[in-house]
Amino acid sequence: MSRTMFSSRSIIALASMACVLGACSKPAPQPEAAGGPPPSAVEPSTPTPAPTATPVSPPEAKAEAPRAAAAETASDRGWILEQAMAVASAIPTKIHDRERAQCQEWVALAYLDAGDPIAAARCAESIEGWRRGECEGLIGVQYALKGDRELALKYARLAMERAIGEQDWRRERIQIEAAKIHAILGNAIMARDLSAGASQAETGKVDGAVIPVLTPEQFEAQAKVLDEVIKGGTFDGMRNALDAYLPLLQRMTANREQALAAAATIDAALPAMPMDLQIIYGTRLASALHALGEKDRAKERLDLAAKQVAETVFLPEDLTPMQVDVAKARAGLGDVDGARAALDAALASYESRKKEIVDVFRARSPRALAEGFMAIGDQAKAESCWLEALAAGTINPNSRPRAEDLSATLVAMARSGAAITPALRERIAMCRKSLGEPW
């Protein structure tokens, strides 16, 4: 998208959002935690007497089971992310400040994806440099999407304060997050001003940020903006447009003709992208079509993505994650047996060629496989792959790449809802203990 286009067509599409958002009920602001230790499960300082047990009737027992499972998952996630933050924070800033900040940001974003902006903010406080501002901007985006204008604007201000004095591209990354906040809140002029002068790789992200708050009446105008970007044919513009178009397509449930036209536009744009992105966006398109009830079209699109993976020569470290992307999408379409068969084949392929993968990239494959098995509910195979990923991440003799791998694996475990078993707990402790000189 050209800068002129963003300041005219995109902003026009945003201008009517203030009245839409004003009609939304504003949730009570969540209390801001000031300082304190890294986020973790809170333990009571003093034990409290256990309540007297009372008989639970069968219906009540059925209601308690999901709540207990959710609480256990949240507890495991909190412990995992606490470990991840400790690993990231152990990376010395003197020689690896960039890697340390990136790993810390991964943890903050995992909390954010879990719907916990307060924990994400605590993590952000430990980050040095421009990534802290980016995190604060992303936290503000989540508050804006929740309709909490006060906290959204607070984090927009914090982000902009971090942008002062940063290099051009780093400043742009932060400013675009602040622009997203203002766009979601309906402050079209402010969004435009914050985006002015930014590269196309950044400005196009604002279009995607507003998709969740558009009304059905605004879908057509937004689709026209994205169509123009795709016609422009630039890589950054097309990628940002596709990132916005796919969630827009998923919202077009009330207008079949509009949805099919959007799907056709997305499909026609994919051949211009590199093969890995054709596959990634192809699986996402298949999932969106399935959600719209277009099951046959979804299967055809996913079969094409699977064919592209099979016929393309990828680097050894890239093949398994591509295979897993297709398998996960297949599970999302309801074909659990097909997904399982694809994952088993990908696992066998990885085992046969893992020594061909450079050690700093080796953990990516079993990490992806673990996420795939989690998607089909196979906890046993997922645990085996998590253990393999943790082991693969310890091969390099230097601690910095080992810490990055461990951080990435822990964050992936938290995102996928992994259960912490004694074997995983022990292996994680061993990986953490091994970190030290040389970094």
Instruction: Place 21 in a pLDDT band, splitting at 50, 70 and 90.
Output: very low
Query: Is pLDDT above 90 for 14?
Result: no
Higher pLDDT, 46 or 400: 400
Query: Is pLDDT above 50 for 30?
Result: no
The confidence score (pLDDT) of residue 185 equals: 97
Distance separating alpha carbons of residues 415 and 134, to the nearest angstrom: 20
Query: Is pLDDT above 60 for 42?
Result: no
Residue pair 196/176 in contact (Cβ under 8 Å)? The answer is no
Q: Model confidence over 374-410: pLDDT tens digits?
A: 999 999 999 999 999 999 999 999 999 999 999 999 9
Q: Model confidence over 245-303: pLDDT tens digits?
A: 999 999 999 999 999 999 999 999 999 999 999 999 999 999 999 999 999 999 999 99
Instruction: Place 65 in a pLDDT band, splitting at 50, 70 and 90.
Output: low
Higher pLDDT, 28 or 75: 75
Distance separating alpha carbons of residues 234 and 224, to the nearest angstrom: 17
The confidence score (pLDDT) of residue 60 equals: 56
The confidence score (pLDDT) of residue 72 equals: 83
Q: What is the DSSP secondary structure assignment for residue 185, as one 8-state letter?
A: T
Q: Model confidence over 117-176: pLDDT tens digits?
A: 999 999 999 999 999 999 999 999 999 999 999 999 999 999 999 999 998 899 999 999
Percent of the chain whose predicted confidence (pLDDT) is above 90: 80
Give the three-class secondary structure for 170. helix
The stretch 108-119 carries a mean pLDDT of: 97
Written as one letter, the residue type at 382 is A
Higher pLDDT, 24 or 429: 429
Encoded tokens for 265? 């536009």
**What is the reported pTM?**
0.84
Say which residues have a Cβ less than 8 Å from residue 297's Cβ, sequence separation at least 6.
263, 289
Query: Is pLDDT above 80 for 28?
Result: no
Other CB atoms within a 10 A radius of the CB of residue 356 amount to: 10
Say if residue 92 is preceded by a cis peptide, omega within 30 of 0.
no
Higher pLDDT, 39 or 434: 434
Instruction: Place 76 in a pLDDT band, splitting at 50, 70 and 90.
Output: very high
The confidence score (pLDDT) of residue 59 equals: 56
Distance separating alpha carbons of residues 327 and 309, to the nearest angstrom: 11
Per-residue HEC secondary structure of the chain comes to: CCHHHHHHHHHHHHCCHHHHHHCCCCCCCCCCCCCCCCCCCCCCCCCCCCCCCCCCCHHHHHHHHHHHHHHHHHHHHHHHHHHHHHHHHHCCHHHHHHHHHHHHHHHHHHHHHCCCHHHHHHHHCCCCCHHHHHHHHHHHHHHHHHCCHHHHHHHHHHHHHHHCCCCHHHHHHHHHHHHHHHHHCCCHHHHHHHHCCCCHHHHCHHHHHCHHHCCHHHHHHHHHHHHHHHHHCCHHHHHHHHHHHHHHHHHCCCCHHHHHHHHHHHHHHHHHCCHHHHHHHHHHHHHHHHHCCCHHHHHHHHHHHHHHHHHCCCCHHHHHHHHHHHHHHHHHCCCHHHHHHHHHHHHHHHHHHHHHCCHHHCCHHHHHHHHHHHHCCCHHHHHHHHHHHHHHCCCCCCHHHHHHHHHHHHHHHHHHCCCCCHHHHHHHHHHHHCCCCCC
Q: How many residues belong to the chain?
A: 439
The confidence score (pLDDT) of residue 197 equals: 85
The stretch 178-192 carries a mean pLDDT of: 96
The confidence score (pLDDT) of residue 63 equals: 57
The confidence score (pLDDT) of residue 61 equals: 55
Residue pair 80/414 in contact (Cβ under 8 Å)? The answer is yes
